[in-house]
Amino acid sequence: MLAGTLTAQAALDPNQLRSVTDQYLFSTSLNSFQTIRSQRPYGDQLDWSSDGCSNSPDNPFGFNLVKACYRHDFGYRNYKRQGRFTESNRLRIDNNFKSDMYTVCNGNWACNRFADVYYAAVRQFGG
């Protein structure tokens, strides 16, 4: 049930919901997260909405950073919804965002620099 592959899911209690959120955010590969996101499990309890990379390009110079932005939005929105959006958790979500972008960049120097700029922006203006 935690994998989010069932079409009908029972409501999760608050502890289970936190656990599922953390699993999707921190313990699932970015590609697997995208598959789960397309299925929208626990849609009445989890916020799957996203504005992509907000006021920044989703794919600067062809670097597809939007998937990392989707997961970052998932983290912010659900941690706020669950009353867990502390500064230390914000840092953890932001660091995961940077890691996701670096995964997308796969060592490309120019892409990593965009990732650094996007990371600096969420550290400065996110929340």
CATH superfamily of 14-125: Phospholipase A2 domain (1.20.90.10)
Question: Annotated catalytic sites, by residue?
Answer: 72
Q: List the structure tokens of 69.
A: 């932005």
Give me the residue spans of the domains in the chain. 14-125
Extended beta strands in 4-124, E state: none
Q: What is the pLDDT along the chain (127 residues), one digit of tens a residue?
A: 455 444 457 899 999 999 999 999 999 999 999 999 999 999 999 999 999 888 776 667 788 999 999 999 999 999 999 999 999 999 999 999 999 999 999 999 999 999 999 999 999 998 7
Q: List the structure tokens of 112.
A: 């990593």
Burial class of residue 21 (count of CB atoms within 10 Å of its CB; 0-12, 13-18, 19+): buried
Q: Would you say the C-alpha torsion 107, 73, 28, 8 has a positive or negative sign?
A: negative
Q: Are 74 and 47 in contact (CB under 8 A)?
A: yes
